[in-house]
Structure 1
Amino acid sequence: MKVLIVCTNHDSYPSKTGKTGLWMSELTHFYDTMTRRRVLVDIVSPKGGTIPIDERSFDLKDEINQKCFNDAAFLAKFEKSLSPSEVVAKDYRLIFFTGGDGGMWDFPDNTELQEITKTIYENQGMVTAVCHGVSGLLNVKLSDGSYLINDKYLTGFSHVEDTLMSFVSEIPFHLEDKLRERGAHYTKSMIPFIEFIEMDERLITGQNPNSAGKVASKALEELFEK
């Protein structure tokens, strides 16, 4: 069984000098949970190639981050991510969109990633995402023309969390608002940054970086134990 992890290529804010990109643990904690169960994992990004890391998230004191960045197999996939045109969607049972602010720029309008997501979902696969990565689901349409997330229960990075991270003026939109505009039933933890996931059939989403491992665990439970 194979799963596909989507990471951003976008690394800059409109006016802040700090670099954005992937939120590191949202990739590593999901990847580690999957590979410990011997699941095959590929990494794709909108343009392929290099994946920038949000400098605020680069933490090698995190044991799983350190484990992955000392692993040659992980680094080979991370440093040379696939481009969407190299992905055969029907080969995957699950797609996972990682977060980090960067994805808000290059996930929502990428039609190739939308098509891959639609194919996996309509082949009875799972669609999963965490934090700002949920923005990758905003414009995914199914074959009948409906939006994938319409009338679905899901979560994602909240207004409050964006505000507390203090980069709220830099991001292109508020994810919580856009999800509701698409007809999704948005839910969240009452306490910011607490692990929280939402599941609606074959759609599993996590609210914040602390939720990535839980999304992976729940997805494995669904894939292997049913």
Structure 2
Amino acid sequence: MAPKVLIVLTSQATISSVDKPTGWYLPEFAHPYYKLAGKCDITIASPAGGEAPLDQGSVKMFEGDEECQKFLKEESSLWKKTEKLESFKGKASQFDAIFYVGGHGPMFDLANSAISHDIIREFYESSKVVSAVCHGPAALVNAKLSDGSYLIAGQQVTGFSNTEEDQVGMSKAMPFMLETDLKKNSGSDSLFVAAAEPWGSKVVVSGKNGKLITGQNPASAGPVGEALLQALGA
């Protein structure tokens, strides 16, 4: 039987402080999807359900990426008909992994979503794979376990770096800096692991039995999909 993966997209469509559209980031869904498709049973959810907003800036940025363009043309039903995330509370036993796609959106809706945190805790404490890429780890950074400790406490993690955020000119528009809070809630600056250079691919596998998987940036999306497959034995 194929492993079952719950993929979560943001429902945040705008950054009001700078009047800028946002959403989920194209390659961070497309590249992992094509690693998993055909090998895993995939379900797509978002906080609001229905159509999850695609960051159009990522469409422009990756217009030369054949896989992203194929995904846009052939798989739009995946993000236009998402299920409500809250409907998956209490259902971790039905899945083998959860994966949070990046984009700036998760910094606003998933970072402090009690429903999302409950689901993440249930998955992790049920020894399911918990994974995220780029800004997707915003969904994990504040999640806590049943004992009240941060899920990422004492764990190596990665995510969109402060340098990368500065380079795209979005630091002042963010409600918090992801690298900063990943360091704080993991308990040590040294537990945040980044690529040698900004925009380089970096995937970190940690957690109990290697069940926590994080990727740094868009270049890490495909490799995160590969790490997910390996963790699932698929």
Is the counterpart of residue 98 in structure 1 residue 101 in structure 2? yes
Shift of 1:100: 0.6
Shifted more, 174-183 versus 13-22: the winner is 13-22
Give the Cα–Cα distance (whole angstroms) in 2 for the partners of residues 138 and 17 of structure 1. Answer: 25
Shift of 1:175: 0.6
Q: Residue 7 of structure 1: which of 6, 9, 16 is its match?
A: 9
Give the Cα–Cα distance (whole angstroms) in 2 for the partners of residues 64 and 121 of structure 1. Answer: 31
Is the counterpart of residue 29 in structure 1 residue 31 in structure 2? yes
TM-score (norm 1): 0.93
Partner of 2:52: 51
**Gap runs ≥5 in structure 2:** none
**Which letter maps to 1:56?**
G
TM-score (norm 2): 0.90
**Gap runs ≥5 in structure 1:** none
Give the Cα–Cα distance (whole angstroms) in 2 for the partners of residues 222 and 48 of structure 1. Answer: 28
Is the counterpart of residue 161 in structure 1 residue 164 in structure 2? yes
- Percent identity (aligned): 35
- Whether contact under 8 Å (1:18, 1:55) holds in the other structure is no
For the aligned residues, what is the CA RMSD?
Answer: 1.5
Shift of 1:17: 3.7
Give the Cα–Cα distance (whole angstroms) in 2 for the partners of residues 183 and 194 of structure 1. Answer: 22
Q: How many residues align?
A: 222
Give the Cα–Cα distance (whole angstroms) in 2 for the partners of residues 214 and 133 of structure 1. Answer: 15
Give the Cα–Cα distance (whole angstroms) in 1 for the partners of residues 22 and 85 of structure 2. Answer: 22
Partner of 1:123: 126
Q: Deviations over 1:82-101 (max 9, x none)?
A: 11222232211111111111
Partner of 1:135: 138
Q: Residue 199 of structure 1: which of 196, 205, 210 is its match?
A: 205
Partner of 1:210: 219
Shift of 1:50: 1.5
